[in-house]
Chains A and B, each alone.
Chain A
Amino acid sequence: MTSDGALMEILKAGVEATIQDYPGRLGYWDLGIPPSGPLDDYSMRLGNVLVGNAAGSAAIEVAAGLFSMKPKADTLVAITGANMQPTLNGQPAPMWESFLAKEGDVIGLAIAKSTGFRAYVAVAGGIDVPSYLGSKSTFAAGGFGGFEGRVLKPGDVLRTGQSERSYSKQVGRMVKEAAIPKFANILDIETTVGPQAAPDFVTEEALQSFFSEIHKVDRNANRLGYRLSPRTWKWARTDGGIAGKHPSNIIDNGYTVGSVNISGDQPIILMRDGPSAGGFVCICCVVTGSLWKVGQAAPGRDSLKFKKISYQEAIDLRRGLERNLETGVS
Chain B
Amino acid sequence: MASTEVLAPTAGLVVKVSVEEGATVAAGQSIIVLQSMKTEIDVVADVAGKVSKINVKKGDEVNIGQTVAEIES
Contact = CB atoms under 8 A, between A and B. Distances in A.
Nearest to B8: A111
A219 B65 contact: no
A63 interface: yes
B9 A14 contact: yes
B13 A111 contact: no
B18 interface: no
Interface in B35-55: 35-39, 41
Interface size class of A (residues with CB under 8 A): 10 to 19
B64 A111 contact: yes
A287 B26 CA distance: 47
A219 B12 contact: yes
Contacts of B35: 219-220
A299 interface: yes
Given A220-B36, A299-B36, A15 B9 contact: yes
B63 A301 contact: yes
A63 B64 CA distance: 12
Contacts of B38: 220, 222, 224
A176 interface: no
Interface of A is mostly: loop
A219 B39 contact: no
A300 B36 contact: yes
B11 A298 contact: yes
A219 B64 contact: no
A299 B13 CA distance: 12
Given A111-B65, A301-B64, A15 B41 contact: yes
A93 interface: no
A299 B9 contact: no
A305 B7 CA distance: 29
Looking at B7, B11, B35, B65, the one whose CB has the most chain A CB atoms below 10 A away is: B11
A65 B7 CA distance: 11
Contacts of B7: 111
A219 B13 contact: yes
A224 B65 CA distance: 24
B40 to A, nearest CB: 10
Contacts of A219: 10-13, 35-37, 61
A299 B63 contact: no
Given A112-B64, A113-B64, A299 B11 contact: yes
A179 interface: no
A64 interface: yes
Looking at A219, A221, A222, the one whose CB has the most chain B CB atoms below 10 A away is: A219
Contacts of A63: 37
A298 B41 contact: no
A50 B12 CA distance: 34
23 contacts: A14-B9, A15-B36, A15-B37, A15-B41, A64-B10, A66-B9, A111-B9, A113-B64, A219-B13, A219-B36, A219-B37, A219-B61, A220-B35, A220-B36, A222-B38, A222-B39, A224-B38, A298-B10, A299-B36, A299-B37, A300-B61, A301-B11, A301-B64
Interface of B: 7, 9-13, 35-39, 41, 61, 63-65
